[in-house]
Each structure stands twice: as structure tokens, then as C-alpha cells.
Amino acid sequence: MPITSDPAGLRQSLGASPLLAVLRPRSADQASRQIEALDAVGVRHVELSWSDGPDWSALVRHAIGHWPRIRFGAAGLRHADQLQVVADLGLRYAMSPIGCGAMVDAAASLGLTLVPGVFSPSEVERFRAVGLVKLYPAATLKPQYWRQLRQPLHPLPFCIAAGGLRPQDAASWFAAGVQAVALGSSLFDDADRLQADDVALLRRLAVADGDAD
């Protein structure tokens, strides 16, 4: 399992805009509404949850072509062969809910940044060499969990907290030492609008370089 150089430059871009949105759209129209809303508040990292079939591939191509300011990635990958599809579509990074050495190796050979999922201290230690990890499911573990790993596993790797989080949770996770936060279904109401009470907070969390529209 190699040490990655983060070919997508994800650590750097998340340093400027430490919020990722994870989308699981039921249709291309829903995806467009959600991406448009995220773009309007300055979100610059959007993960599209993996789905088998041509519809997902078409959705990814459409998104890349229509929202050039957003860095799109793939979410929910669990098998190494999925990474070739991701690379062929022009995506530069991918997330997994699991830690899998074969996926890390495959991503490195394809020039992709893969962020493996970790849960236990042993998994954090095993995958620290990758350069980035995703703490999942973060809502179950709570910020104190990551804070308690600081001393025994110092220095901790670059970490994205993900799974069941709300925008209001971000501050406590950043205080615990993670570098980025991923949000999903909590972002939108039933009409695919951003939750009205969260818009101002999302702008503060997501604006890259302070220059969103």
C-alpha cells in the first residue's frame, strides 16, 4: 500500500474550502437543482454517490461540464474495479466508507486520490500513510473520539469527518482537529432547496478563498 502524493491536490483545496457535499440524487433533474444550490453558496467539493449503470456516468459528465468551479468526486466506492470507471469519467478523487488496501493501490496506479474510510484506532494507524482518511460514521463516534486519538496516534492524518452530520456540527469537529467535514441529506429540504436556516453558515464553511457569488 503506497504513500500517496494526493494527485488531485485534495488536501490543498480542502484547506481553502473545508466542506464537502455528498449527493445521492434520484434523477438528473434533482442533481441539477442540488448542485446549483450548492454552487450558489460557494461549495467547491461535491461527491456524487456511486451507482451502477449509464445514468450515473451521464450525470457525472453533465456535472463536470456544467459546473466548472466545483471539484466533483465519487462517493461510496467499495471495490477496486470501480476506480477505473471513476478515472475514465474524469473525476480526480473518490471516497470509500471502508479501508481497503487493494483500492488504495488501484487508485495510485490510476493517478487518483482515494480517501479510505476509518473507524478504529487500528484503521487510522494502518491508513495514515495514504495521506487522507475519512472518519465514518462520524455522528456515531462524536468529536471527542477524534480528540482522544491525538496523543496515542500523534500526528493524526488529514481527516474528513463524514456520516450523519449537520452543518451545526462542523464547528465542534473542527475544534476536535479534523480538517474537513462532509454533509449529505441534512443539507436539503423536500424541494431540494438548502435548509433556509443553514444558508449563512454554509457560506462561511464553504466559500473558497472568500469569493463566492
CATH of the domain at 146: 3.20.20.70
Does residue 137 form part of some domain?
A: yes
Q: List helix spans (H) across the chain.
A: 10-16, 28-40, 54-66, 82-88, 101-110, 121-127, 138-141, 143-148, 170-176, 199-206
In a domain, 187, yes or no: yes
List the domain range (segments joined by +) for residue 200: 10-206
Sign of CA dihedral 140, 13, 42, 110: negative
pLDDT (tens digit, 9 = 90+) per residue, 58-114? 999 999 999 999 999 999 999 999 999 999 999 999 999 999 999 999 999 999 999
Instruction: Confirm whether 184 is domain-assigned.
Output: yes
Query: Structurally, how many domains does the chain consist of?
Result: 1
Structural domain includes residue 197: yes
Domain-embedded: residue 213: no
Q: What is the pTM of this model?
A: 0.94
Q: What pLDDT, on the 0 to 100 scale, is given for residue 208?
A: 42
Each residue's pLDDT tens digit, 122-173: 999 999 999 999 999 999 999 999 999 999 999 999 999 999 999 999 999 9
